[in-house]
Amino acid sequence: MQDEERSVRTGRPRHIRLVRGLAAAALAGLALAVPIRTLATGIAPPEPPIIRIGVPYVPLPTATPEARLYTEEGFELDLAAEIGRHLGKKVELVEVSDEAGAATLDAGRIDALLARIGDEDPRFSAVEIVPAGYASGLSVAMRSDTNVQSWQDLAGKTVCVAQANRQAQRLAEAAGAKLLVRRVPALSLVGVRTGECDAAIHDALLLDRLFTDEQWKKFSATLPPRDPTRLVVLLPRAQGRLFDRVRGAVEEMAHASEWTARRNNWVTTVAFEVYLDQDAPDCH
């Protein structure tokens, strides 16, 4: 009697409520079965739209839209952007120091790491190394009438380096030079042409190409390359679909013809930036 009164008060007969309860349970079971079926059939969940790429240096955004834009040191930022385009993903750049690179990658805080490493670098023995197709030692640009004949002769001299090139900074300090850090390569090289710096340290491969320009004949004195490194993409050993896609993209970008174009573009652009910034061309 009480059950009948309760049914009347709610206006819902017991058999209707029972049917609805069974239907709800069935839907809940179906929802639970979907991910199980997805796992059973091997269908991978969609990849996130962003790829996190570690680089040794992330430049600050320009203060105003009218601010001068300069070519950055190295090719890490360019390659990160190319990887994003190949994968159809937005790139999130994460600044990672040389010392923290492997640990940051292993902890999953980044998806890939762009770095310059030596042939026997023990820091990255536990990660997958994908060569990017570029390698170079460091050398210097100096006036052709310099008295510097060896790396040891840089002791006490003023040496310009780019802010992002920490390897060049360490090399200059090891030689006993007075370090003058400039924001970008063009400003470092301007220092050599104006006499502010006795030398500027950059990749030997790029300087060799720069010295073929007649405008750099008076500033093409150099030294034998030191500390050779190669540019690589480091990936976690836990392989997956993203791992395969990144590796494939890097291998496509590693062709020699691609690097000839990148190298020529870097040199041409930086030389033009030097021309724009120099107040007194060849004044010495």
Q: Answer yes or no: do 63 and 187 share one domain.
A: no
Greatest CA span in the chain, whole angstroms? 113
Classify residue 196 by its DSSP letter. Answer: S
Q: Which residues of the chain have pLDDT under 70?
A: 1-46, 63-67, 239, 279-284
Q: Answer yes or no: do 115 and 194 share one domain.
A: no
- Nearest Cα residue to 51 out of 75, 81, 72, 96: 81
Q: Answer yes or no: do 207 and 232 share one domain.
A: no
* Residue 205 in domain: yes
Q: Answer yes or no: do 153 and 256 share one domain.
A: no
* Residue 278 in domain: no
| Residue numbers of the domain that contains 241 | 50-136+228-272
pLDDT at 55: 96
pLDDT at 74: 93
For residue 261, the domain's CATH number is 3.40.190.10
As for how many domains the chain has, the answer is: 3
pLDDT at 102: 82
Q: pLDDT digit string (tens) for 87-131?
A: 999 999 999 988 888 889 888 899 999 999 988 777 777 788 999
- Nearest Cα residue to 266 out of 73, 60, 68, 61: 73
pLDDT at 19: 43
Q: Answer yes or no: do 22 and 67 share one domain.
A: no
Q: Answer yes or no: do 222 and 232 share one domain.
A: no
Q: pLDDT digit string (tens) for 2-34?
A: 444 443 444 455 444 444 554 444 444 444 444
Q: Answer yes or no: do 127 and 56 share one domain.
A: yes
pLDDT at 232: 95
Q: Which residues of 256-270 are buried (b: 16+ CB within 10 A; e: fewer)?
A: eeebeebbeebbeeb
pLDDT at 10: 42
* Residue 80 in domain: yes
Q: Answer yes or no: do 130 and 58 share one domain.
A: yes
Q: What is the DSSP string of 87-112?
A: HT-EEEEEE--TTTHHHHHHTTS-SE
**List of residues 6+ apart from 279 with CB closer than 8 A:** 194
Burial class (CB in 10 A: 0-12, 13-18, 19+), 217: exposed
* Parallel/antiparallel/unpaired status of strands 128-141 and 199-203: antiparallel
Listing from the earlier edge strand, what are the strands of the sheet with 128-141? 90-95, 50-55, 112-117, 226-235, 128-141, 199-203, 158-162, 178-182
Please give the distance of CA 20 from its chain centroid, rounded to a whole number: 57
Q: Answer yes or no: do 208 and 71 share one domain.
A: no
pLDDT at 279: 55
Neighbours of 125 (CB within 10 A): 9
Q: Answer yes or no: do 124 and 68 share one domain.
A: yes
